[in-house]
Structures are given as C-alpha cells and as structure tokens.
C-alpha cells in the first residue's frame, strides 16, 4: 500500500516478500518514487519473510532514490527482516531505521 504522509510517501508491506510477491512490491515502490515528494519510506514492519527477490527490490529502490535525489528510509520493524538484511551484508548500504516513527522523524 502506498500512502502520502505529511512528511513522506510511505510504502507499507506485509506478509512474505518472495518471488511470487516481488512484482507487486516493486510496483508499489516504483509508484512511490514517481510521486512528488522528497522522501520515501518503505515500512517492512508487517513482513514475515524476506527473500532475495525482496532484497533486490530494496537495492533497486536505493539506486533509484539516489538518482532521483530523494531521501529513502527502510523501516525494518522486525527481527525477521533485520536478520535477512544483515545476513546478506546489505545493512551496510541500505538506509535502515528501526521503525516507521523513526523514519518519519528523520
């Protein structure tokens, strides 16, 4: 789901992000990047499983945000998501924050 917040465009995701849900996730992130806002937040608090296709969407989002000169924050929200990101080493390049509230304050 993509929503306009007073501070940013927020993409909220829930459930598993894998090969079967990657396209819908990527579409929502692309929609958020195309909107007229300087900040985009991807809220992963409701995610129960994050596979490599979902990680690829996050990396692409980071690249697109840098090209478009937008601020991107990825609200990890759960240990499941945090672990998936950290195991791949992507935590060093992705703009992670612990939760949505922190992302909106940043």
Which DSSP string do the residues of 88-99 spell out, in sequence order? HTGGGTS-EESS
Of the chain, the percentage scoring pLDDT greater than 90 comes to: 85
Provide the b/e sequence for 61-82 (b: ≥16 CB within 10 Å). bbebbeeeebebbbbbbbeebb
pTM of the full predicted structure?
0.93
Average pLDDT over residues 13-33: 96
Strands 71-75 and 39-50: parallel
The pLDDT value given to residue 99: 93
Q: Under a CB-based contact definition with an 8 Å cutoff, are residues 85 and 79 in contact?
A: no
Distance CA 55, CA 19 (A): 11
Compute the mean pLDDT over every residue in the chain, rounded to the nearest whole number: 93
Q: What is the pLDDT of residues 90-101, one digit of tens each?
A: 999 999 999 999
């Amino acid at each position: 789901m993509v929503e306009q917040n007073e501070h940013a465009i927020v993409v909220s995701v829930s459930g598993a992000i894998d090969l079967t849900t990657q396209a819908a996730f990527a579409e929502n992130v692309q929609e958020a990047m195309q909107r007229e806002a300087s900040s985009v937040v991807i809220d992963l608090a409701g995610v129960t499983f994050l596979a490599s296709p979902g990680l690829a969407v996050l990396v692409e989002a980071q690249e697109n945000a840098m090209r478009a000169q937008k601020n991107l924050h990825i609200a990890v929200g759960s240990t499941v998501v945090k672990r998936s990101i950290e195991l791949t080493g992507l935590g060093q390049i992705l703009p992670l924050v612990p939760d949505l509230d922190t992302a909106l304050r940043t």
